[in-house]
Amino acid sequence: MAARSAWRGAGGAGRGASLSGRARRWPWPSSPPASPAVGAGPGLGRAPWAHGAVRLQVAVGGAEWHYIATQGPLPHTCHDFWQMVWEQGANVIAMVTAEEESGRTKSHRYWPKLGSKHSSATYGKFKVTTKFRTDSGCYATTGLKVKHLLSGQERTVWHLQYTDWPDHGCPEDVQGFLSYLEEVQSVRRHTNSMLGEAGRGPPPIVVHCSAGVGRTGVLILSELMICCLEHNEKVEVPVMLQALREQRMFMVQTGAQYKFVYQVLVQFLQNARLI
């Protein structure tokens, strides 16, 4: 595949958008939905709701990388979002958008603000409490306690929100985005180390922007390509992008986003003093 045309949108749109969907972006018919049917075990099955979420799996660096690429929640799908997070065992959420940009809602806020009178909020079967928040310039790291109200079980979920993506184009501060990506990787390693040998393997991380394809694709593609560099594997950005698009259409939507992935890789190599 030629690099100059690799970013072009994949075809094959679905028959229609579900009521729970934010934008007209669909998985391929063969892609597994991110939530199992009611009463199902931990494996993937057809979701009882359509939230535009797809579980992605890619082998890089001798390991399987798992993601859930999804849309930003709407007011009436926040409970579905947390149901998905809980059922899939996800403990890291990477949000690549502000809640509002240029007066337009990109994602409904699905977690409570720290220090407010309402630092806890209930979404369907789940009570979410904000425990701490750390601001790092272009991104924020928030610790959440999620309680399943029916079973009483509690889990810690890390929420990492990148807030410096401009209304048009891509971030000018490539190092800032790379720092955010490195924070996502660091938190993922930390949470995976806490699982111990009793776990069934690392859970997926949830990645979303607004539609769940453009910026979401940039983050996932950048991380996978950096992993290739770290393990001295062949860096084939067009091939990896095609592998992602075979699981979720429209990943990395624009030429500017595709170019930005290369800028992130160059910045990574410069930081490592490899170029």
Tens-of-pLDDT digits for all 275 residues of the chain? 344 445 555 433 333 334 355 554 445 444 555 544 333 333 444 444 345 789 999 999 999 999 999 999 999 999 999 999 999 999 999 999 999 998 999 999 999 998 766 689 999 999 999 999 999 999 999 999 999 999 999 999 999 999 999 878 899 999 999 999 999 999 999 999 888 655 567 899 999 999 999 999 999 999 999 999 999 999 999 999 999 999 999 999 999 999 999 999 999 999 998 88
For residue 3, the model assigns a pLDDT of 42
From 78, 170, 209, 227, the catalytic residue: 209
For residue 195, the model assigns a pLDDT of 80
**What is the CATH architecture of 47-271?**
Alpha-Beta Complex (3.90)
Which residue ranges make up each domain of the chain? 47-271
Instruction: With CA atoms as reference, report the closest residue to 219 among 180, 186, 270.
Output: 180
- Is residue 227 part of the annotated active site? The answer reads no
Global pTM value: 0.86
Contact 7, 258 (CB under 8 A): yes
